[in-house]
Amino acid sequence: MKHLLPILSLSLAALLAGGCSSKSVISYGDARAVETTDINFGSTDLQKVADEMTDSLLLSPVVGTLTANNRPVVFVERIKNKTSEHIDTESITDSISTKLLRSGKFRFVDMTRVEAVRKQINFQQNDGLVDPGKAIQFGQHLGAKYMLYGNLSSIVKNTEDASDVYYKFTIRLMDLQSGIVEWADETEIRKTRTVATVGW
């Protein structure tokens, strides 16, 4: 009986500890709600940048003239991250190109998939499994007339009581034949975090 008491005590303690354990709760939130988890570049900043830049581009009189009678083909270069943070700039690029494509004013070539396309055309041409009369031929792709490209940069300042980060996002539309920048715009974001002092 003496040997059973420590085992029973440990089992009871484990049951009590298990009964008091916390459970994680998963819930859906508003994807467009303002994110205030930390001061770093987040989902709200991405949405702001993508919305403002695409709206500015689509409302530009110059772009209105360029897209009046046709849907020009655009190549979107991945946004360059010039900040000290690890930022998924491909998500910014994807959001901007998707909004522009939805507008119905542009068509796009996806340069991130060139190698995959090349392999597929090679397969159709050389594998013998595809009807030669229906296989896609090399040299039939349309070339882009314009390139959309941009930069994301930041300035960070820290003190004992506060942190301040300033982001600047710049984007341009270039005519690939002439090298002329037809349109450009930028947007800014400033975020500040202060440390609250608790008095006695």
For residue 163, the domain's CATH number is 3.40.50
User: Is residue 45 one of the residues assigned to a domain?
Assistant: yes
* Parallel/antiparallel/unpaired status of strands 146-158 and 181-194: unpaired
What tokens appear for 31 in the block? 């994807």
Query: What's the domain count of the chain?
Result: 1
User: Is residue 11 one of the residues assigned to a domain?
Assistant: no
Residue with the bigger pLDDT between 75 and 118: it is 75
Beta bridge partners of 80: 151
E strands, 98-175, in order = 107-109, 146-158, 162-175
User: Is residue 49 one of the residues assigned to a domain?
Assistant: yes
State which residues form the domain around 50. 39-128+141-194
Report whether pLDDT(173) > 70.
yes
pLDDT on residue 22: 66
User: Is residue 149 one of the residues assigned to a domain?
Assistant: yes
What is the reported pTM? 0.70
What are the tens digits of pLDDT across the range 8-55? 555 555 555 555 556 887 766 666 667 666 677 878 888 888 889 999
User: Is residue 96 one of the residues assigned to a domain?
Assistant: yes
Question: What gap in Å lies between CA 120 and CA 26, rounded to an integer?
Answer: 41
CA-closest candidate to residue 148, choices 96, 104, 99, 188: 96
What tokens appear for 77 in the block? 């270069």
Residue with the bigger pLDDT between 97 and 139: it is 97
